[in-house]
Amino acid sequence: MSLLNWLGFLFLAALAFGAAGHALLRKSDSRSALGWVTVCLLFPLAGPTLYILFGVNRVRRSASRMRQEIKAMVSSEHLAFTSTSTTINSAALHRSFRQLDTVGRNILKTPLVGGNCVEPLFNGDEAYPQMLLAINQAQKSVYLSTYIFATDAIGRLFIDALARAVARGVEVRVLIDGLGEKYSWPLASRVLKKKAVPTALFTPPKIFIPELHINLRNHRKILLVDDTFGFTGGMNISQKHVLSEQPRSPITDIHFILRGPIVGQLRETFLDDWIFTTKEPLDVTTTTPDPTGDCLCRAVIDGPDKNEPLKTLLAGIISAAQTSIRIMTPYFLPPRSVLFALKSAQYRGVNVQIILPKLNNLPFIHWATQHILEDLLDAGLTIAYQPAPFAHTKLLLVDDCYVHLGSANLDSRSLRLNFEMTLEVFDRCLSDTLTQHFDSIMSQSALATIAELQSRSLPTRLRDAFFWIFNPYL
């Protein structure tokens, strides 16, 4: 064998064993590690190439770099928001709250904040008028972050309200996801800038491959007005949410208006995202909003730069449930830890109910979901499909006292790839209101059955299983 052949052999061996070693050290799932090690060793050129392209977790690496950039640009004092006077000691909580609070406190390392008021706003019919009123009455600041900002009739109302606020001398900042804004034309960022509204795009895709950023999406929905009002939930800005206008492809959802010290945690999150995107630190000298209610809240800030706190929290809360779990989500492809926790809860005697949309705007996710439902139904969970229109609502209700709301879906994209913000709320009144809504939807929904799933044709079952394979990327 010639020297050149020996060098080629050594190069391929080093490449194969190097990629295999990287997979062994970096992959948290043993099956994934075994698969990549096998591919790299059996195909010493193609295997490592495929691993470099698709196996290396660039999402977390890129997100971690983003986080380091933020820390380098601004000191922690710019991001700190004082709320110690309203934090709640675990020992002071009602006994029914204590175990669920312990889960969040230990995972997130942050206490509950008291003195808040959290009210649900159903669909754009209720949410948008309140949001527009708050913007029109703003005196100091308006901060808005959204994934989709449509430039339809309702979007134009928001654009005009923001422009008027700027003209009044209000400090306005709008942050739109760089990929999410492409859902509408003309682009909202261009219209806003023409009206002199300070606007930025979060990691917009660019022509060059290193800047495509298909992942690393900012899926958070935040509106803050004068450090007094906060709005969050799962609703984008789009005419499709105004059901009274009978839009094409209507979407139901729930947004929430917040008052009290928890608004400070939302503001801190927005400032963090804004500083990274624009390199512009804003003047954050402010006071904690005054207590206005009895809700106990904790913000959950999740993203690929963190160690999956939301996924761990959801599994922990489900595992701590004592009597009931109610889930409403548009996309249901949870990680195995959450699936196991749901089945375990049902086996412990907890009543687990899940409502999914019968009509899904992403059919391939509906197909993939069907592949996993039979196992859950066999464990005794109740799963139902609510009728059209498409339901974009994201809720987790536990033990008639705990509400988890926000922007995150129960899928890998939200729990692993996106920047999300959710909220833990301990409040029986809010839980009762949302439970009534949940039960009302359940009464109108069609129950999924094992017999129905087993009656699917072989091509349909193969299709569903095929799309389920891509669960980590859907």
Percentage of the chain exceeding pLDDT 70: 84
Is pLDDT above 60 for 322?
Answer: yes
The pLDDT assigned to 348 comes to: 96
Asked whether 474 and 413 are in contact (CB, 8 A), the reply is yes
Question: Given a cut of 60, is residue 474 above it in pLDDT?
Answer: yes
Q: Alpha carbon of 432 to those of 60, 426, 436: distances in Å?
A: 38, 11, 6
Q: CA 143, 145, 151, 155 torsion: positive or negative?
A: negative
pLDDT in the model for residue 24: 73
Predicted confidence (pLDDT) at residue 46 exceeds the cutoff of 70 = yes
Each residue's pLDDT tens digit, 3-24: 666 666 677 777 777 777 777 7
- The answer to whether 61-92+115-296 and 309-473 have equal CATH topology is yes
pLDDT at site 145: 97
In three-state form (DSSP H/G/I as H, E/B as E, the rest C), the secondary structure along 226-258 is CCCEEEEECCCECHHHCHHHCCCCCEECEEEEE
**Contact present, 455 and 146 (Cβ < 8 Å):** no
Is the separation of the CB atoms in 261 and 116 below 8 Å?
yes
Six token digits for residue 152: 């339809």
Which of 199, 71, 87, 91 shows the shortest CA–CA distance to 145?
199
pTM: 0.86
Per residue in 217-239, pLDDT (tens digit) is 899 999 999 988 999 999 999 99
Task: Give whole-number Cα distances, 47 to 43, 129, 303, 320, in Å.
Answer: 5, 55, 29, 42
pLDDT computed for residue 66 by the predictor: 60
Structure-token match 């990274």, residue found: 276
> What confidence score (pLDDT) does residue 7 get?
66
| Residue-wise pLDDT tens digits, 77-110 | 444 444 444 666 665 566 778 889 999 999 999 8
The mean of the pLDDT values for the chain is: 87
Buried b (16+ CB within 10 A) or exposed e, 103-142: bbbebbebbbbbbbbbbbbebbebbbebbbebbeebeebb
Homologous superfamily (CATH) of 309-473 is Endonuclease Chain A (3.30.870.10)
Amino acid in position 202: F
Strands (E), 85-221: 87-88, 112-122, 141-146, 171-177, 199-202
- For 351, the enclosing helix (H) or strand (E) is strand 351-357
| DSSP 3-state of 299 | strand
The pLDDT of residue 58 is above 60: no
How far apart CA 214 and CA 203 sit, in angstroms, is 9
Stretch 178-207: mean pLDDT, rounded?
90
pLDDT at 194: 95
User: For 407-426, what is each residue's pLDDT tens digit?
Assistant: 999 998 898 888 999 999 99
Is the Cα torsion angle 178, 58, 417, 474 positive or negative in sign?
A: positive
Round to whole Å and give the CA distance between 92 and 59: 40
Q: What is the 3-state secondary structure (H, E, C) of 175-200?
A: EEECCHHHHCCCCHHHHHHHCCCCEE
CA-CA distance, 403 to 16, in Å (whole number)?
48
Angle at 277 between CA 274 and CA 279, to 5 degrees: 85
pLDDT at 71: 56
pLDDT of amino acid 83:
43
* Nearest C-alpha neighbor of 368 from the set 419, 409, 312, 407: 409
Task: Please report, for the chain, the start and end positions of each structural domain, with discontinuous segments joined by +.
Answer: 3-56, 61-92+115-296, 309-473
- pLDDT over threshold 70, residue 155: yes
| CATH 3.30.870.10 fits domain 61-92+115-296 | yes
User: What is the reported pLDDT for 351?
Assistant: 97
pLDDT at 70 > cutoff 70: no
pLDDT tens per residue, range 442-461: 999 999 999 999 999 999 99
- Kindly report, residue by residue over 352-363, the tens digit of the pLDDT: 999 999 989 999
pLDDT of residue 455: 95
Please check whether residue 79 is in contact with residue 284, taking contact to mean a CB–CB distance below 8 angstroms: yes
- Tokens matching residue 65: 């770099």
For residue 287, name the pLDDT band (cuts at 50, 70, 90).
low
